Structure 1
Amino acid sequence: MYVCIPHFISKNQKTQMATVMATSSSRPVAATVPHKKYDVFINFRGHDTRVGFTSHLESALCRNYFLTYTDYRIKSGKKIWDELVKAMNESTLFLVVFSENYADSSWCLDELVEIMKCRRKSRQVVVLPVFYRIEPSYVRKQTGSYGAALARHSQGHRDSHIQLWKDALREAGNLSGFHVTEKRSESAWIEDINKAVLKTLRYKYKNELTFNFKTDENYSKIQSSINFDSSKVQIIGIWGAKGIGKTAIVAAMFQNFSCKYQGTCFLEKVAEESKRNGINFTYKKLVSTLLGEDVNIDTPIVMSSMVIRRLKGMKAFIVLDDVRSPETLKTLIRERGGWLGAGSIVIVTTRDEDVLKSGGISNTHKVRNSLRISYLNKFTISLPKQGFLELSRKAIHYVNCNPIALKVLRSFHRLYTSEIDWKCALAKLKEISNAKIMRWTYKFQIWGTGQVWALFQAYRSMKVMFGHSVRLIEK
């Protein structure tokens, strides 16, 4: 049997998971992971573990509100095996739960053969075996219940088919995984497996919104100012002009480090949401997200002792994005984070440095322009191609490294492949003021870059045709 789970939120793990991570990460990995529909495919013997261990494992992975692919998703009239093979080829990580009677099922064994094929075909595929209350040697050497099951299968299957099963069992059995025994509770094992899966996938995927900031000066300075091993609550302030890249930087940091924390919360557009719904709503959202449940809070000033107790026992990673008033900041972080657990981190972004100073935040950083960060974020390649470096520098300089305006420029990289095309595009762009580009992208930022670019082209065409200004959205 099988279960497929799309997407994930990553967390930390210890002991046996370190071995798993070391093994999986030792395989060469391409710079960009091909997009696959599913993150996790669970292969297991339904008779042994469906009701207990596997169902609890699946629930642990789904507690972060992610969709589960199960057999009921196979549409009637379609061939089950074809649908399974398709799902396996669209999965990044496989959990194979080897149980006492696993080898009794020819279906499970056929799935395992296909899983190992997927692993051999792609370096991005990871297989984590889980030896559930059996000796791993049973799988590697086909002894015990596995040897007996294969002997029974030999009477109804060809020798070549049996050999495929044996090879797959041997290959999977030699991989680092988890030996689940009765020495620990199943919930503890499941927590470790869940964390290992999430941790592994975290290194497999490139987040479309955060990209690679490791070489950016802004990111490096902010990261170096944070002591991730400290037991103190740390509050970091980041300030800079609108659209300079503050949110992108903290999003990358949140993506890279939040996995090590029990409670996480990324509150976007704090000023806008607080103005629209009230500060109480924003504070309730913060606390509820950290605790993972809806919490009834009438006012930020008064919290039940139980809620405070739970929050103080939790190591949290919080981002408060776009805070514009000292009052909002003081309300949300309350007593300089005294209600948070040891080792918690709070990152605040704002346009006004005085907001941070008034809020008592001393660890502050001003975000400055960077050619590399702008190019990495908006053109999604590691370095400008030969011959395009000077053109990209001019383009980025023209929009003052503003990430919002660069959403339009990003389409140049997709549409124009020659240096001549780029020069023509930039010549057209210079005819339009940066302020107008900013207004278009701001008003239409819910659209994709292609749609924004279509608007830009339409505007240019109409202006040329009619010979006068076209005031699309100035109103």
Structure 2
Amino acid sequence: MASSSSSSPHKKHDVFISFRGEDTRANFTSFLHAALCKNHIETYIDYRIKKGEEVWEELEKAIKASALFLVVFSENYASSTWCLNELVEIMKCKKNDEDNVVVIPVFYRIEPSHVRKHTGSYQTALAKQKKQGKDMIQRWKNALFEVANLSGFDSSTYRTENDLIEDIIKVVSQNLNQKYTNELRCLFIPDENYSSIESLLKNDSSEVRTIGIWGMGGIGKTTLAATIFQKVSSIYEGSCFLENVTEESKRHGLSYTYNRLFSKLLGEDHGIDTTKVISSIVMKRLKRMKAFIVLDDVRTLELLENLIGVGHDCLGAGSRVIVTTRDKHVLTGGGIDEIHQVKEMNSQNSMRLFSLNAFKKILPNEGYEQISNNVVSYAKGNPLALKVLGSFLRTKSKREWDSAINKLKEIPNAEIQKILG
């Protein structure tokens, strides 16, 4: 269940288990790990007994690449400096990324207050670590206190360990489903797409710069542009996001589009008529303004030249204009300064998006894995296609799935083909 990066970085591992090997390696932790794997939850666990610098470097990377942490507190957890250092690193990650990192304590045959208040075996273990120095011991104590105060599980309240593990799996799944559902709402914007546009915007040029985003329909151009707009528009003196520019211009006329553009930038309606010269007062105001503009779904060179021409002539130094289109030639012909092609979703994120729409969870139901792979392959990493296919198949039986997939291969679904075309 590993995920790729995005603007809100996705994690390689769903779960990282921190545990004291001598206490739980041969029993509880092994059973927990097996249950997580059975539920298709990508879990990092280190069973190695021998530790060293290379192992620690690997663990640090794994911790930073994990979305959720299960910390199994047991009788001798605090006697391991290795476990304590892991815990400090885990809490460091949580503090650096509060919204995306979840830490869940599991008190296995240990009184939670011993961990929280550093009493019992935890007091004894920490007392033996004096040679590590006061600062280090305090960091360990702080981490123990912070994690022990988080919502978690106490094994003493369960009749069997199997019941405990079942509840842990439920909570982990709920957390991951919520996390990945939120990320999927952004269609898993691949990191290379986001980073590329962001770097282009950071160009220190005082000139008015134009950036083109192109790709097939449904690939996520508008979502990418909207995400960038939401993040950076506030640092500009004026901003405007115009969706469906081509459709709106056809329906209401170019004057309407101009009026929306300048009214949003200036915060007032100027009733601009494109058959006349824009008033010198409006022109002067715009010329002094550092603006950020997104023109979404521009399909013709003529429309682009009309809109971008006005932008270059009227906007102030340092302004940026993003244009989205399906046709790269619109951008090259229109003299756009920088052009970026939106990359399709990778196979893992494609499966997640499809599953969310088909099964209401981030992985296929048991028995649907192969047929889901076939659908994901057909959609070619297109987010909108994956959503349409998932929603279409959601209420169908497995037999109906087989029939629908075969029909798609023989007689392509018009809506999907329109998206992918």
TM-score when normalising by structure 2:
0.48
TM-score when normalising by structure 1:
0.43
